[in-house]
Amino acid sequence: MVEDKDSSGSLTDLFQALAAPLTESGLASIPTWGAQIALETLLEHVRARLVGRRVDVETAHGTLAFTLCGLGAQLDSIAATAGQADDVSVSVRDVQFRGLDFAEVTAALGNVHTRIGTRPAVVCAPIDLRISLTNEQVSQVLARFSPRSVATCTKTGCVRLRSRRNAAGWLDAVPEVVRGQLTLRPVAVGRKRWSLRFGGRIAARPVPVALPPIARLTGIDVQADALSVDIRVDQWRVGYSQILALGS
């Protein structure tokens, strides 16, 4: 299997777009309110203006489009006075980026707080992302690396790989994350009703996935007809004006 360098770059750019600050909006900075008021106002703005809406974000790597499904946050009395929010979660669906589609992306944001100043910003660390793909979307990503292959996620936790030219034959492989490295471990091969299991005789093969320095793979989950990839981002910062611009 030959790696498509341009495609690998597209995947890297997606992770960078999800993990990097948005582009500058050009709006004037909002007033330097108290931290609690500023964060509460920002959360209310996002819920009122963006939830349920199709959003296009211009990043340094292209347009990132998605529908914002939900924003959850808990402001207790003590943390709120310091401009902090607990249990912040964001979910988006129908994500499109540089020709790739993703069914859903969810983010659990840790230690969300406001940095007050002439240009207020929201900072959070860490961020746990889960990127979910359908069978069709998994095949779409696979086609960037191996155009002649198609993938199907099975209920046994395997990804079944077939040739587009000869669908009778197949290879089952288990995707795993080992110390931040994505691997594929072949477990069976077959053709029509005939099959042969390898047991532990074939070693896992590394799959090249380039991530920005602030992000790393933490897990992968295969279910019937779907696959989810977990990524941890060390820290994320975005200006208030940049978020407000999305709802303008």
Residue 150 and residue 95 share a domain: no
Amino acid 176: pLDDT:
94
Length of the chain: 248
Each residue of 8-31: pLDDT tens digit? Answer: 455 555 555 554 433 333 333 344
User: How high is the pLDDT of residue 16?
Assistant: 53
Do 160 and 180 fall within a single domain?
Answer: yes
Q: Give the whole-angstrom CA distance, residue 150 versus residue 137.
A: 10
In tens, the pLDDT along 69-81 reads 999 987 776 666 6
Same-domain status, 71 and 122: yes
Domain enclosing residue 102, as ranges: 5-134+230-246
Same domain, residue pair 25 and 109: yes
- Is residue 209 within 8 A of residue 10, CB to CB? The reply is no
Residues 101 and 149 in one domain: no
**What pLDDT is recorded for position 10?**
52
pLDDT for 211 beyond 70? yes
Average pLDDT, the chain: 82
Confidence of residue 217 (pLDDT cuts 50, 70, 90): very high
Number of domains in the chain: 2
Three-class HEC string of 9-67: HHHHHHHHHHHCCCCCCCCCCCCCCCHHHHHHHHHHHHHHHCCCCEEEEEECCEEEEEE
Cα–Cα separations (whole angstroms), residue 161 to 53, 114, 215: 36, 46, 28
Average pLDDT over residues 208-213: 83
DSSP-assigned letter for residue 155: T
Express each pLDDT in 144-194 by its tens digit. 878 888 999 999 999 999 998 887 899 999 999 998 899 999 999 999 889
118 and 236 together in one domain: yes
- What span, in angstroms and rounded, lies between the C-alpha atoms of 201 and 144? 29
- What's the confidence (pLDDT) of residue 190? 94
Give kind and range of the element (H or E) at residue 247.
none
Instruction: State how far the Cα of 123 lies from the Cα of 31, in Å rounded to an integer.
Output: 18
